[in-house]
Amino acid sequence: TTSPNISGRLHLKKDNSVYALAAFNICCDIFQLILHVCYIGPSVITGKWFFEGGDSLGVTIIATFFMGQWFLGSLMQILFATNRFVVICIPRSAFFSLSRVIIFITICCCIATVMTVYTQLLSPCCRVIPDPRYFGYSYLVFPNQTINYSHYIELTFDAFVSTYGGISYIALFIYVLKMGAPNDTVGKREMRCFVQFLLMFLTYTLVWITFFLYPVIGIQAPEAYIVTPAVLVLNCGINAIIYLVMNKEVSVLTVK
């Protein structure tokens, strides 16, 4: 069984900022999973909207929360990549103190809120909705609108996040090859976190690539689009799963 003192004991660790990042991201993932379990998944399985179509108030609310969590998770990817680069390459830096991490998370929440309100509610054309017709998600196109501003904003944003993360992880990988993997306990823990965040980054990138790429290459079978929500659900669970498997400190505490 899980020890009730895990949170308190982890909080005493010197590098508790990484736990704060992971814990907040897990909370975001849980909320996203709840949306999929309670509505998006059943809607896809039954092939029904459960409301009065894609432009209904119910679907709009769910889609808004869905994209809000997506934007927030994307911004967290930037924090993860930056955290690994700073902690491993500049180990004596105090840049990622717990207080600053809380400030960074607050800023990410504000940015995600602004982006969600514009792309889902204020944009003159189109918003992302859970769409049972495509076994996943699609753009709801408003009448008499031809320019999908939300599409360009979201594609640019996702590409920027993946580019930033990719450059950070590649630079970090080159640094580790050049300097050698750390042999001390703290260094090995940081490398385990690096691998964890890298896997999260790869699944995140695969989600948005499949969402934008499938329509471009002309895939007609709606069933093929199930890949996007499947990978998204995997991405939501991979943080907690890998954290329990790879982080020895957490693994030891959870079995006590």
12: tokens are 């005493």
- What is the model's pLDDT at position 181? 60
Nearest one of 197, 201, 204, 196 to 248, comparing CA atoms = 196
Tokens of 166: 């990719």
Amino acid sitting at position 156: T
Long-range interactions of 65-69: CB distance < 8 A, separation 24+ = 65/31, 65/35, 66/32, 66/35, 66/40, 66/128, 66/130, 66/137, 67/116, 67/119, 67/120, 67/127, 67/128, 68/112, 68/113, 68/116, 68/120, 69/28, 69/31, 69/32, 69/35
pLDDT tens-digit profile of 187-242? 666 677 778 788 888 999 999 999 999 888 888 888 888 999 999 998 888 777 77
Please state, as a whole number, how many other Cβ atoms lie within 10 Å of the Cβ of residue 136.
23
Residue 239 covered by a domain: yes
Report, as an integer, the average pLDDT of 6-17: 46
- Phi and psi dihedrals of 128, rounded to 5? -75, 135
Q: What is the pLDDT at residue 137?
A: 93
Domain presence at residue 5:
no
Q: How confident is the model at residue 141 (pLDDT cuts 50, 70, 90)?
A: confident
- On whether residue 32 sits in a domain, the answer given is yes
Of residues 224 and 4, more confidence is placed in 224
95: confidence class by pLDDT, cuts 50, 70, 90: confident
Residue 142 lies in a domain: yes
* Least confident residue range of 5-9, 35-39, 61-65, 140-144: 5-9
pLDDT(12) > 60: no
Rounded to the nearest integer, the mean pLDDT of the chain is: 83
State the pLDDT confidence band at 14, using cuts at 50, 70 and 90.
very low
pTM: 0.85
CATH number of domain containing 112 = 1.20.1070.10
Residue 165 is assigned to a structural domain of this protein:
yes
CB atoms within 10 A of CB 60: 17
More confident residue, 13 or 210: 210
Determine the 3-state secondary structure of 135 from DSSP: coil
Q: Which two tokens stand for residue 84?
A: 């690994």
Counted domains in the chain: 1
Domain limits at 153?
15-247
Range 2-29 average pLDDT: 63
Nearest-CA neighbor of 153 among 206, 208, 115, 110? 115
State mean pLDDT over 156-175. 92
Give the confidence band of 82 by pLDDT, cuts at 50, 70, 90.
Answer: very high
CA separation for the pair 119, 126 (Å, rounded)? 8
pLDDT digits over 109-123, tens only? 999 999 999 999 998
27 is a domain residue: yes
- Does any domain span residue 7? no
Q: Is residue 3 part of a domain?
A: no
CA 123 – CA 152 distance, rounded (Å): 11
